[in-house]
Chains A and B, each alone.
Chain A
Amino acid sequence: MVQQGTGKKNLLEILIITAGFFVVLPILGINRTTDFIIFCIFVLGFNLLYGYMGRLSFGHMLYLGTGAYAVTLFTEHVSRNPFLAVLAGICAGALIGVIIGPLVVRTTGACFALINLAFNQVGHFLALVAFSKYTGGEDGMSAYFSKIGFIDFSKKPIIFGFVLICLLLTYYLLRKLTSSPYGVLIKSIKENETRVKFLGYNTFRYKWITFIISTSIAAFAGALTILNYGYVTPSFIDPSRAVEVIFATLIGGAGSLYGAIIGGVAYMALSNYLASYISRWEMFLGIALLIVVFRFRAGVWGYIVGKFRKKAEVLER
């Protein structure tokens, strides 16, 4: 089952993704494309936890928001170097994963979802009320980044390039991870954790590590969001937005890296464009979610793969 991705194949995939975003770039404009790419990073991180390890977090905005606030506070109090700030954001995400990981990964299913939601609620409260002196409360606060040589993050093409490189890096890292024995192990935890334990693995440790990777990637996406927008508000940590990333993962197809990227782009396209055409947007989203859950569980990518497999089988005969 372990498919060792060869270097050439990985390179090809990365080229395809890059080409894909350059194709949509003139259609969407550079601002939206940057947004889309950042959201795709977030979905990739969520997908590792939900699609691969089967743990549905209903409070993943907490980790995105942690990254966002960490970057803003870092630029405010420590240094305005954008690279260091993003690094600080990732570290903050990893730190929160390390701290609350042991508490949440022991639970499964509904408890996992709800305890994440509870933590998100607490985080939202901390950012909005308790630490409003430092976070600016409801108004949020701005972040300013200094120039490093020719890299000036106030210029949109530079952000676009940087964000795209970040996405490719995340993608490459996750591709390597999920095709390694570790990837097989977390997929096995999704299928049957008791058996994995029986084989002598310490599942708790692997679940914890996966959780930390997922929170770090989410925080990474949050950090990049701040780099793009230049300000942070409590809406970045609002638990009621957690459904966005779940929906994106489901549309694309959980448990596949391509699916995550397709889902991220599809969800952003839906929410950006459909909302302006359909006034009853929430209802549309709800009905779409019901259809996905009842009829279309494999998502877009799963559907394509399924079709492709059938054709291949027919050809073989």
Chain B
Amino acid sequence: MINTIAYGLTIGAILYIISIGLSLTFGTMRIVNFAHGLIYTIGAYLLITILPFARGNFVLGAALAVLAVIPISYIVERFVIRKLYGVSIDYAIIATYAVVLIGIDLIKWIWGASPIPLSDPVGIDVTLAGVTLPLYRLLIIIFALVIFGVLTVFFKKTMVGKIVVAALEDKDAVKSLGISVDKYFAIIFVIGSCLAALGGVLYAPITSVHPYMGMTVLLLSFAVVLVGGLGNIKGTFVSAFVLGLVMAITGRFWGPAAETMVFVVMGIMLVFRPIEV
């Protein structure tokens, strides 16, 4: 049972890292960003490309992969997302989905369609309370907690963070203070995309890397965002870990139902607390 919980917490940690960017774009710009899953996939593929150059140094490779995502996400923001502000939300969904189609085809073109396995970069098991766990999974959980802490400080103490929090509450009021909200949204978008890529990089050694890996995770992240509340930083954190545990515990009893159960929870949540977008 402890093993299942640890597994659930790992999934929750990954889901949190990915969802936070999605939640912020959803909350601030009212844009459903399907391209987020694409960035996640690209992060994992970049890691595979960079690893041989980094002489197998995982930390260096991961850092470079995350940094390499910045220009890509900026291009997506500048040429697609920015044109969608204030447009009907349907067009945003369709346009970002189109970006995903293009991106997945590019990935297939560059790296091929077959899955690429990646080994555990730490490879050490630790024994906690009589249960043996891979250290890598524990590190991921700690990492997510650190990111949560850093983001909390970022939104409370820094100017950029404060502006974004204010814009989440009332975008027009922030605009009327003479602050160029769009610029900050672009920053937030890039930070969110970097976190998505980080999620991809961290999760790559646990699963295999393939062009469609982003789509399943994206659906799960949407569930996290909808359960946690749009643009709700703490809510996203809680719901990611809760849904991660839901997945792990369901998966323990009936493997194939794990992901479906998340959507059931999301459906129940939406019925009792519909979100107006």
A293 beta carbon closer than 8 Å to chain B:
yes
Of all chain A residues, the one with the shortest Cβ separation from B100 is: A286
Contacts of A108 in B (CB 8 A): 276-277
**Are B93 and A129 within 8 A (Cβ)?**
no
B94 pairs with A246, CB closer than 8 A: yes
Which of chain A's residues has its CB closest to B270's CB? A115
B101 touching A118, Cβ below 8 Å:
no
Query: A114 contacts the other chain (Cβ, under 8 Å)?
Result: yes
A54 vs B276: C-alpha distance when bound (angstroms): 15
Q: Interface of chain B, helix or strand or loop or mixed?
A: helix
Q: Which residues from 186 to 238 on chain A have a C-beta closer than 8 Å to any C-beta of chain B? A: none
Contact A114 B264 (CB under 8 A): no
In B254-277, the 8 Å CB interface with A consists of 256-257, 259-260, 263-264, 266-267, 270-271, 274-277
As a 0/1 sequence over residues 114 to 137 of chain A, the CB contacts with chain B under 8 angstroms (1 = contact) are: 110111011001000110000000
| B108 → chain A closest CB, angstroms | 8
List 25 A-B residue pairs with CB atoms under 8 Å apart, sorted by A's residue number. A108-B276, A108-B277, A109-B89, A110-B30, A110-B93, A111-B275, A113-B93, A114-B32, A115-B266, A117-B219, A118-B267, A121-B260, A121-B263, A280-B105, A282-B101, A282-B102, A282-B104, A283-B106, A286-B103, A287-B98, A289-B95, A289-B97, A290-B102, A293-B91, A293-B95
- Complexed CA–CA distance, A122 and B260 (Å): 6
B89 closest partner in A (C-beta): A109
Q: Cβ of B106 and Cβ of A243 under 8 Å apart?
A: no
* A265 interface residue per 8 A CB criterion: no
Q: Which residues of B contact A41 (CB under 8 A)?
A: none
**A106 in the interface, Cβ–Cβ < 8 Å?**
yes
Within the complex, the shortest CB–CB distance from B275 to chain A, in Å, comes to: 5
B28 → chain A closest CB, angstroms = 14
A179 within 8 Å of B (CB atoms)? no
* Chain A contact patch, size range: 35 or more
Chain B residues contacting A246 (CB-CB under 8 Å) are: 94
Complex: A246 Cα to B95 Cα, angstroms: 12
Name the contact of A129 in the complex, choosing from B30, B219, B256, B275 (C-beta under 8 A).
B256
- CA of A243 to CA of B263 in the docked complex: distance in angstroms? 20
17 further A-B contacts with Cβ under 8 Å, apart from A283-B106, A285-B98, A294-B95, are: A50-B90, A103-B270, A111-B270, A111-B274, A118-B263, A125-B256, A129-B256, A243-B101, A250-B94, A280-B105, A282-B105, A283-B102, A286-B100, A286-B101, A286-B105, A287-B98, A294-B83
Asked if B109 CB lies within 8 Å of chain A CBs, one says yes
Separation of A293 and B104 alpha carbons in the complex (Å): 19
B274 adjacent to A118 (CB under 8 Å):
no
**Is A58 interfacial (CB 8 A cutoff)?**
yes
Residues of B within 8 A of A107 (CB): 270, 274-275, 277
Within 8 A of B (CB), among A130-189: 130
A56 touches B (CB below 8 Å): yes
Task: Enumerate chain A interface residues (CB-CB to B < 8 A).
Answer: 50, 54, 56, 58, 103, 106-111, 113-115, 117-119, 121-122, 125, 129-130, 240, 243, 246, 250, 280-283, 285-287, 289-290, 293-294, 297
Q: Which residue from chain B places its CB closest to the CB of A115 in the assembled complex?
A: B270
- Of A103, A110, A283, which is within 8 A of B267 by CB? A103
B residues within 8 A CB of A289?
A: 94-95, 97-98, 101
Total interface residues on B, CB under 8 Å, equals 42
Residues of B within 8 A of A56 (CB): 90, 93-94
Task: State which of A125, A243, A285 has its C-beta within 8 Å of the C-beta of B257.
Answer: A125
Shortest B39–chain A CB gap in Å is: 15
Chain A positions within 8 Å of B83 at CB level: 294
Bound CA–CA A149/B109 (angstroms):
54
User: Which residues in chain B, 114-167, are within 8 Å of chain A measured between CB atoms?
Assistant: none
Give the secondary structure class of A's interface. Answer: helix
Asked if A58 meets B93 with Cβ closer than 8 Å, knowing A111-B226, A118-B266, A280-B109, the reply is: yes
**Nearest neighbor of B275 in chain A, beta-carbon distance:** A111
Near A by CB (< 8 A), chain B positions 9-46 give 26, 30, 32
CB distance from B129 to the nearest CB of A (A): 34
Chain A nearest CB from B214 CB (Å) reads 12
**B30 contacts which chain A residues (CB < 8 A)?**
110
Interface of chain B residues 219 through 264 with chain A (CB within 8 A): 219, 222-223, 226, 256-257, 259-260, 263-264
A residues less than 8 Å from B80 (CB atoms): 290
Minimal beta-carbon separation of B86 from chain A (angstroms): 13
- Contact residues of B between 61 and 113, Cβ < 8 Å to A: 80, 83, 89-91, 93-95, 97-106, 108-109
User: Once the chains bind, are A287 and B102 in contact (CB under 8 Å)?
Assistant: yes
Taking a contact as CB atoms closer than 8 A, the residue among B105, B263, B270 that contacts A283 in the complex is B105
Which residue of chain A is the closest to B276 with respect to CB atoms?
A108
**A286 adjacent to B98 (CB under 8 Å):** yes
Partner of B99, one of A110, A117, A118, A286: A286
